[in-house]
Amino acid sequence: MRHKISADRTPSLRGRAGVGLLLALAFAACTDDQALSPDVGGGGAVEVRSYVSLTLSTPASPGTRANPTGGELGDGQEDGTADENAVGSVVVFFYQAEAGVNALATTPVSAAVVFPVGPAGTEGTAGSGHEVERTYVTAAQEVPLADGTYHLLAVANPRDSWWEQAEELTLGTVRDHLETRQWTGTGTDFLMSSEADATITLEANPASEPATATIDIERLAARIDYKTTGTYTCKDPQYEGGKVEILGAAIVNDLTSGSYLLKRVADEPGSTTPVYLGDETADAATGAATNYVLTPFTTDPDVATYGLPYTDRSDDPNDWAGWTQPGTSVGGGWYRIGYTQENTTPAKATTEERNTGVVFRARFTPTGMPDYWATGETFFALGNQLFATMEDMMRWFCGPDFDRYGELLAACTGLDEVHDFAMTLPEGEPSGYRDYLLGLTDYAGAVKWSDYMLRACGYSMSEADGHAVTLDQGDVVTRRALQPHGVRTYEDAQCYYTWWVRHANDGNDETNGPMEYAIVRNNIYKLTVQSVYSLGGYVPGDESLSILVYVNDWLLLPQEEIPL
C-alpha cells in the first residue's frame, strides 16, 4: 500500500524529541547548501524562496478479496513492520510540466531538496476511510524556487545523492534511475518512491506557514510470507498415510538487478511509451490483469541476475536445508520468507528460469515401511517404492537370493566365476553391484556387497542400532553414487516442493495471462499451504503444493506506545 506525504502543517518534534531533533539538525546541516543553491535546471539563482513541510502517513487496511486478483489493490492491504515502515529522509524533485510525470524526458528538474523526517505519530478521523494513520513529519524546509505551481516526485530513504552526479537533471533522469539496493540487512531502511503524481503551489511561503502538498509513496521491494495449517496427510495413494510437515522456505529467482525508481505500466510488455505511475488494471468480470508493470528486464532477461537462480540450482539437499529456513514470525501464524525486487515477464515467456518462486522444505514421515526405525531418519525411493535401507531395496528388487550374495561370491574360485555370478543378478539392480562385478579385471578386487556399498557409495547399515544407516563415508556422496541407478536418497527424511508465485490469476490453467506469474513492488505475497498431495523431490524439482495465494499491498502499522 502507498505511504502518504501530506505537507499540511508545521512539524512537532515532541515524540522521541532527542532523536527527532538530532535527525532534523543533522539533515539540515547536510542539506543547507543544497536548499539555498541556485535551482537545478531552472536557469540560475532565484530571489524568492518558499518553505515547505511534509507529513508521511499511511491509511488503515480494508478487507481482502480473491485469489489472487489483478489490479492496483490486488487482494487488499497489509500492515508492515516498524523496520519496513521507517523513514529517515526524503528527497523531493520539483519540476514544471503540464503533462506531469508523463511529460517529455527532457523536462528539466527545477530543484532537488532533501527533507529530514521527524518521529512517527498518528492521526485520522473515524468514518473518513483513514481511521488509523501513522505519520512521519518533516521540518519546514526552504526551497530555492520562484513562486508558481510545481509537480513533485519523492524518494524516501535515498541511498546516496545520485541526483547531484547527473550532468543534466531531468524528469527522464529521475524516472529511469535504476536502484539495486532497495533495503538493507534482512529488512530495514526500505527505499520508497512516488506512487502518484502531485503538485504544490509556492507563494513566498514563510516558515510559519509553509506550502503544503500530498505525495503518495510506496516501497520498491516486495515481500513473501507463508503459513501452514499443521501436519498434512499425503493424498497420493502410492504413499498413503504419509505425513508432511513444512520446515522452511526460500525465495528462488529473487531478482537482484534492480528496479526503475518509478513504477510504469503498459498494455504490452515491449511498449516504448509506458504510463509512468499508472495503475495496474483488471478485467471487471474475471479479475484477470489487463496490462503489464514494466521493469528493465521484462523483455531482456539475459542481463538479469538472481540471488538464488533456480535453473542453476544445487543438487545438494544440505545446501537447500541451509537456505530454506523457517522464516521470521510476523504474527497470526505467518512467517516472512524474505524480500525481493520487482520481476515481470511477458505471458508467453513464463519459465522456471525467469519467474520468482518459493522452495519449501518438508519432513516426510512414511507409514508401513519395514525397518524404518525413527521419524526424521533417512530413507530411499526407487520409483514409487520407499525403503528404510538399501538392503530392503535389494531384497525387494533381487529376491531372497540377495542374502546369499556374500556366500555365493565366496564360493567363486576365479574371475570367470565372479563374472558368472554377476550375470545371475537382475539387470538394472539399484546398487550398481552387478556392473561393478562385471567390470572387474582382477579377481583379487572382488568384494562382498556391504563392502562394495561402503567403498563405492559411502553407505553402511547397522542392525544392532535399529537398522540405522550412515551416508557419505570415505569422501563419497551417497546420493550421487546411487542416483545413476535410479535411487533417490531422502537425507533426514526431508523433501522439497517448488511453487511459482502468482500476481494475478487469469482463471485459465491452459494459458498464462498478463502478470499471472510476477512480482510487483510494494506487494506482500501471502502463501497458505493448504494440502500436500505427494512426496516431494530430494532436491527441488517439479513437485508442487496446493497453495492459496493472496497479494496484499503494504501498510504502516498504527502508532506504538513506548514508555521511556
Please identify, among 220, 250, 283, the residue that sits at the C-terminal boundary of a domain: 220
Give domain status of residue 275, yes or no: yes
Cβ 554 vs Cβ 523: under 8 Å: yes
Angle at which helix 449-457 crosses helix 390-398, to 10 degrees, equals 120
* Burial label, 94 (beta-carbon count in 10 A; 0-12, 13-18, 19+): buried
One domain for residues 104 and 179 = yes
pLDDT in the model for residue 75? 56
Q: How confident is the model at residue 479 (pLDDT cuts 50, 70, 90)?
A: very high
Nearest to 266 by CA among 252, 248, 280, 255: 280
Cβ 178 vs Cβ 172: under 8 Å: no
pLDDT in the model for residue 108? 98
243 phi and psi angles, rounded to 5 deg: -110, 140
Q: How confident is the model at residue 509 (pLDDT cuts 50, 70, 90)?
A: confident
Residue 86 has pLDDT above 90, yes or no: no
Q: How confident is the model at residue 555 (pLDDT cuts 50, 70, 90)?
A: low
State the Cα–Cα distance between residues 38 and 521, nearest whole angstrom: 35
Alpha helices in 91-188 (DSSP H): 171-176
Give domain status of residue 292, yes or no: yes
pLDDT in the model for residue 545? 74
Residue 158 has pLDDT above 60, yes or no: yes
Q: How confident is the model at residue 17 (pLDDT cuts 50, 70, 90)?
A: very low
One domain for residues 52 and 89 = yes
Query: What is the DSSP secondary-structure string of 355-417?
Result: S-EEEEEEEEE-SS-TT--STT--EEEETTEEESSHHHHHHHHH-GGGGGHHHHHHT--SHHH
Share of the chain above pLDDT 70, in %: 82
State the Cα–Cα distance between residues 42 and 305, nearest whole angstrom: 38
One domain for residues 515 and 535 = yes
Give domain status of residue 560, yes or no: no
State the Cα–Cα distance between residues 7 and 70, nearest whole angstrom: 32
> For 253-257, 266-270, 347-351, which range has the lowest pLDDT when averaged over its residues?
347-351
Question: Strands, DSSP E only, in 35-131?
Answer: 50-52, 55-58, 77-79, 89-95, 109-123
Give domain status of residue 375, yes or no: no
382 phi and psi angles, rounded to 5 deg: -130, 110
- The 10s digit of each residue's pLDDT in 303-352 is 899 999 999 999 999 999 999 999 999 889 999 999 999 999 999 888 99
One domain for residues 310 and 433 = no
One domain for residues 73 and 207 = yes
Q: What is the CATH number of the domain that holds 550?
A: 2.60.40.3690
Please identify, among 467, 485, 503, the residue that sits at the C-terminal boundary of a domain: 485
- Give the number of domains in the chain: 3
One domain for residues 325 and 232 = yes
Alpha helices in 15-166 (DSSP H): 17-35, 82-85
- Helix, strand, or coil here: 104? coil
Give domain status of residue 317, yes or no: yes
- For residue 25, what is its C-alpha cell? 539538525
One domain for residues 407 and 332 = no
Give domain status of residue 49, yes or no: yes
pLDDT in the model for residue 529? 92
- The 10s digit of each residue's pLDDT in 121-151 is 544 333 333 333 456 778 899 999 999 999 9
Q: Supply the pTM of this predicted model.
A: 0.84
Give domain status of residue 123, yes or no: yes
pLDDT in the model for residue 79? 67
CA angle 481, 482, 485 (to 5 degrees): 120
- The 10s digit of each residue's pLDDT in 32-64 is 333 333 334 444 455 679 999 877 664 333 222
Helices and strands, counts by H and E, the chain: 10, 31
- For residue 407, what is its C-alpha cell? 556366500
Range of the domain at 547: 225-366+494-555
133 phi and psi angles, rounded to 5 deg: -130, 140
Give the H or E element holding residue 325: none
Q: How confident is the model at residue 433 (pLDDT cuts 50, 70, 90)?
A: very high
DSSP state of 59: P
Cβ 437 vs Cβ 421: under 8 Å: yes
Q: How confident is the model at residue 507 (pLDDT cuts 50, 70, 90)?
A: confident
* Burial label, 286 (beta-carbon count in 10 A; 0-12, 13-18, 19+): middle
- What rounded mean pLDDT belongs to the chain? 84
One domain for residues 406 and 498 = no
One domain for residues 508 and 458 = no
- The 10s digit of each residue's pLDDT in 177-221 is 999 999 998 889 999 999 889 999 999 999 999 998 888 888 999
pLDDT in the model for residue 552? 75
- The 10s digit of each residue's pLDDT in 355-395 is 999 999 999 999 989 989 888 999 999 999 999 999 999 99
Give domain status of residue 93, yes or no: yes
One domain for residues 170 and 305 = no
pLDDT in the model for residue 280? 92
Q: What integer is the mean pLDDT of 465-485?
A: 95
pLDDT in the model for residue 81? 75
One domain for residues 288 and 247 = yes
pLDDT in the model for residue 475? 94
One domain for residues 197 and 252 = no
Pairing of strands 55-58, 3-6: antiparallel
Distance (Å) of CA 25 to CA 16, 106, 231: 14, 35, 54
Q: How far apart are the two ends of the chain, measured CA to CA in Å?
A: 31
pLDDT in the model for residue 210? 95
pLDDT in the model for residue 52? 94
Buried-exposed string 509-536: b where 16+ CB fall within 10 A, e elsewhere: eeebbbbbbbbbbbbbbbbbbeebbbbb
Q: How confident is the model at residue 68 (pLDDT cuts 50, 70, 90)?
A: low
Four-residue CA torsion sign, 374, 376, 382, 384: positive
240 against 106, higher pLDDT: 106
pLDDT in the model for residue 444? 85
Distance (Å) of CA 327 to CA 98, 221, 454: 47, 18, 37
Please identify, among 171, 192, 220, the residue that sits at the C-terminal boundary of a domain: 220
State the Cα–Cα distance between residues 526 and 403, nearest whole angstrom: 52
